[in-house]
A and B are shown apart, each in its own frame.
Chain A
Amino acid sequence: MHRLRKAKGLTLKQVEAQAKVSNAYISQIERGKRRPPHPDILKRLAKAYDVEHRELLVAAGYLEDSAEVAKRREIEDAYQHVLTDPTFKQGTRLKGTHVSLETKRFIVEMYEKLTDRNLLKRA
């Protein structure tokens, strides 16, 4: 939020005037002293900063980034492919029973390494 405001060349007072949100509150949010504001407040701040409301909702953790969702989906699909390939055998020893996305990604990468196949898009 702080970087965004600086990039737009706005002072706390200017944001307060445009978004009708107290400058003390904005300052606290910028310094991480307060929890992410309510989506309604973010809507007003988005107008003041001239950015998409969705962008602030993602930054505040209310919504998932669509790129992140797509990446997650890609890993899940690749992991399912690995599990159903009868030529590739694998096993794990986990803390608990939950297989995290990070672990699935690791397994997919090991599959790629051993089979010389590419399942995940590289940036």
Chain B
Amino acid sequence: MELLTDGTEKNPILGFCSNVISRHGKSWPPEEIVLAEEFVQWLGFNSFLTKEALKELCKDKGVNLTVKTLPAGLRGFNCSYQDKREIFLTDEESAVFSDAHTLFHEFREMLEHSFVELGYPTIGAEQSLEIQAETFAMACRMRAVEQELPAFFKLAQNVEKPWARYLAYTLFAFVGAALFYSCILVPQMEEILAEAKRLRYVRT
């Protein structure tokens, strides 16, 4: 992959991976949570982005994101060939934040391809990239929530009336806990919803 003189790579994902290698190459591979933290920061992700905003975010990183009807059973797909990189997400309604989870899963697979290309694989032969990508997706969403929570509490801090301030704190604490648990529970929620949908289909 050709590098531009100002250091901005034509392939931003490869550029990100190069930077990760330069920082963590001596104690390779980095922990998944560390990789997730750096990736969320690099991508500029936040939990409340619309699909259009997500598309823009991906476009900035050289990835074309498409949300469309995919074959049954396929939640997401990524592919790359030369300098073309695509991620597809299903438009099927599923658990809240399922889109973001799948997006990170697909990105993790892309990252691994780049790490392999650079000679620094993070997955051993006995490990599964699928499982690693799921862990990465959870870690990325947790990291994003962790970054967003202080802003919520700052909002609550600015509420003048004490009772309203405490109410706001309680509300934001609840939202924060829900967001945090959603990071871990998305895959389980997806399975439960898919099963409920299947049963509904069988009954009708």
Interface residues of A (CB under 8 A from B): 87-96, 98, 100, 102-103, 105-107, 110-111, 114-115
Contacts and interface: CB of A to CB of B under 8 A. Distances in A.
Contacts of B76: 92-93
Contact of B81 (A87, A92, A100, A102): A87
A107 B110 CA distance: 16
Contact of B194 (A95, A105, A110, A115): A95
Q: How large, as a class, is the contact surface on chain B?
A: 20 to 34
Given A94-B75, A103-B73, A87 B82 contact: yes
A103 B72 CA distance: 8
A93 B102 contact: yes
Nearest to A114: B81
Given A92-B74, A102-B72, A115 B81 contact: yes
Interface string B72-115: 11111111111010101000000000000010011001100100
Given A91-B133, A93-B106, A110 B77 contact: yes
Given A91-B106, A91-B110, A114-B86, A96 B73 contact: yes
A90 B77 contact: yes
A106 B70 contact: yes
B135 to A, nearest CB: 13
A43 to B, nearest CB: 33
